[in-house]
Amino acid sequence: MFELDLSDTQRDLVGAIRSVCAGFDDDYWSRHDQEHLFPDDFFDAMVKVGVVGMMAEPEYGGGGSTVEDAALALQEIAASGAGINGCSTVHLSMFGFHPVTKWGTAALREKYLPRISSGEIHVSFSVTEPDAGSDTTRITTRAVPTDDGWVLRGRKVWMTKGLQSSAALVLARTRALGETARPVDGLSLFVADLDPAFVEITPISKMGRNAVASCEVVFDDLPIPRENLVGEEGRGFYNLLDGLNPERILVAAEAVGLGIAALRRGTDYARDRVVFGRPIGQNQGIAHPLADAYMQLQAAANMVRVAARLYDGGKPCGTEANTAKFLAARAAFFAADRALQNHGGMGYATEYHVERYFREARMLRITPVTEEQILNYVAERALKLPKSY
């Protein structure tokens, strides 16, 4: 519906992804969402086109791509109608093990990254706990030392792709609250192999994005070898921070793509649907919100690019990354809401697909960081206001 100013290489990337995604239409995604089926064939197609391994270093079988290029790839996947189901199929394989790339030993990188890049294994990311929420310092999952490493005990929630994953990045407490000067200093990051003998994984029934499960996970003395510690013990929270800004940028790109898909459906229907002898899109009450959605998405897409280029250039981008995520999630939700409204009663019918976009768009205003936490960040960092929490 709109294109940013792309380089020839980026245009080739977008074209290749668009061509592959054309083989997976809206009916494909609706069926997988309704039946809670993981899209294995789509994942395999993304492996072949180079998307899954695009951000890994070439020495580990990847493409060494920038965050800007990865954002374009995810935006195109979502815009194809795959939405967040499609993006979540590949997102964690593309970027989820970034802390391993940045902080893991050479042996740890060699152990996991080539298999992730090739699509041999799926991986997950496990931080959130039911009683901690956004306050990461309050997590209680423990990694208890043993002669060979650690055993992991505790419970996590909202682990994406838990049912498919062979391994997960897990943040756990290696020192109890009160034992360190700062609560975050007692947290460590591990790569945990999800051995079913020590791990119970249960899907969470949820509103949308049901082709890719979100899971509750219980660790019951799961052994973790010493070499699977990522970075230094007690520095896990800080090792995570480096990945937060690019994560927000990539999710923002997914939101833009989802909004484009919704806007396309809403605009097409406004052109084709005739009521009282004229297309409904001829009425300003229909046309103006669609134009508003277009401008919001265009602005968000440009903000995503600004943030991505700052990150890729090694420059601070916290405010820009959070702003991109905030604007893109709101733009996607507005576009999906107006597309559904334009369809009238048929917007509630699954055959028109906009209800699926609407359900997915609502999620983006919560995850991976809530709007309220972004507003807190911008108020404190950009406006220099007192911290409120």
Rounded-to-integer distance, Cα 234 and Cα 232, Å: 6
Domain with CATH 1.10.540.10 in the chain: 8-102
pLDDT of residue 3: 66
Number of other residues whose CB lies within 10 A of the CB of residue 342: 24
CA distance 42 to 44: 5
Domain 8-102: state its class. Answer: mainly alpha
Question: CA-to-CA distance for 219 and 151, rounded, in angstroms?
Answer: 9
Look up the pTM and report it: 0.96
pLDDT at 76: 98
Residue 136 confidence (pLDDT): 87
Structural domain 238-381, CATH architecture? Up-down Bundle (1.20)
CA 25 to chain centre: 21
CATH 2.40.110.10 fits 123-232, yes or no: yes
What's residue 242's pLDDT?
Answer: 83
Q: Please write down the HEC assignment for all residues of 220-253.
A: EEEEEEHHHEECCCCCHHHHHHHHHHHHHHHHHH
The predicted structure's pLDDT at residue 86: 98
Instruction: Tell me the pLDDT of the chain (389 aa) as tens digits.
Output: 666 789 999 999 999 999 999 999 999 999 999 999 999 999 999 999 999 999 999 999 999 999 999 999 999 999 999 999 999 999 999 999 999 999 999 999 999 999 999 999 999 999 999 988 788 888 999 999 999 999 999 999 999 999 999 999 999 999 988 888 888 899 999 999 999 999 999 999 999 999 999 999 999 999 999 999 999 999 999 999 888 999 999 999 999 999 999 999 999 999 999 999 999 999 999 999 999 999 999 999 999 999 999 999 999 999 999 999 999 999 999 999 999 999 999 999 999 999 999 999 999 999 999 999 999 999 999 999 999 98
Helices (H) then strands (E): counts for the chain = 12, 10
Q: Which residues contact 339 (CB under 8 A, 6 or more apart)?
A: 262, 263, 265, 266, 269, 347, 354, 357, 358
Q: Where in the chain is the domain with CATH 1.20.140.10?
A: 238-381
Q: What is the structure's pLDDT at 1?
A: 62
Q: For residue 159, what pLDDT is reported?
A: 97
φ and ψ at 173, to 5 degrees? -90, 125
Outline which parts of the chain fall under CATH 2.40.110.10: 123-232
